[in-house]
Amino acid sequence: MIAQWPRTIRTAIRYLLLPGACLACHRLLSADDDAFCSDCQDLFRVESAWVCPRCSATVGFGTDVAEGCTSCRGERWCFERVVRLGPYEGALRELILRMKHRSGEDLARAVGERWAAVMAAKLATQRIDVVVPVPMHWRRHWQRGFNVAACLAEALAQRLGVPCENGCLRKQRMTRTQSSLSPAERRTNLRGAFTISHGHRVRGKSVLLVDDVLTTGCTANEASRLLRDAGAQQIVVAVVARRR
């Protein structure tokens, strides 16, 4: 409880300075709104786009995705599938970028709660046993003050009624920012970056690996490889957004 005091104080200050304001766009909320205005709530509706069931990339309607799409068909991943809230574009992209700011923890937790409510039915069919966030290096965590993936993972775990193992994976080496690298450079950049902590048992379990964005799948695959080596039976990756 003591560990939650700083977050509670920040939340109280925000409501004092911006009473009844949308967490995403800061517009005044109506009496029927909670955390997000009616426009921003549309970001959390089940999308109607046709997506690949393996990597969650957007594909054309009627595309044959029985063995994946053109983005993932040749990939040999350590996870089974990816589920997403939506594509990394427009208002959803801006929301994710704001979550990554030092002041974005309350927003990340609110997004996690709304996302969890939308994803609950889909994830229930996967029979998830434990939720694991993609970790940050301690230096980046210290600079930002929180891990977006951990905020999202905690909300999903609470909704699913399963444990959230925040310390299961650890990032032991600082890496270059993935967004500026080619697919081949991304794989090299992440090699040996993660380690799995002792005392966290995933053997025989269905794991939900959580991150904010998936681009090429390199980060999720490297983290999944460690979970698979530790005996995880199934790994499903959940992201807020998927880059096309």
pLDDT recorded at residue 49: 78
In 3D space, the residue among 51, 49, 35 whose CA is nearest the CA of residue 114 turns out to be: 35
Identify the three-state secondary structure at position 87: strand
Tally of CB atoms within 10 A around 191: 12
**CA-CA distance, 86 to 194, in Å (whole number)?**
27
pLDDT recorded at residue 238: 97
**CA-CA distance, 151 to 113, in Å (whole number)?**
9
pLDDT recorded at residue 102: 87
Q: What are the structural domains, with CATH classification, of the chain? A: 1-44 (no CATH), 47-242 (3.40.50.2020)
Half-sphere exposure of 52 (CA within 13 A, CB side): 21
Q: Which pLDDT tens digits describe the chain residue by residue (244 residues)? A: 454 555 555 555 555 555 578 888 888 887 777 788 888 888 898 777 789 999 999 998 888 998 899 989 889 999 999 999 999 999 999 999 999 998 899 999 999 999 999 999 889 999 999 999 999 998 989 999 999 999 999 999 999 999 999 989 999 988 767 766 677 777 777 788 899 987 778 999 999 999 999 998 999 999 999 999 999 999 999 999 998 7
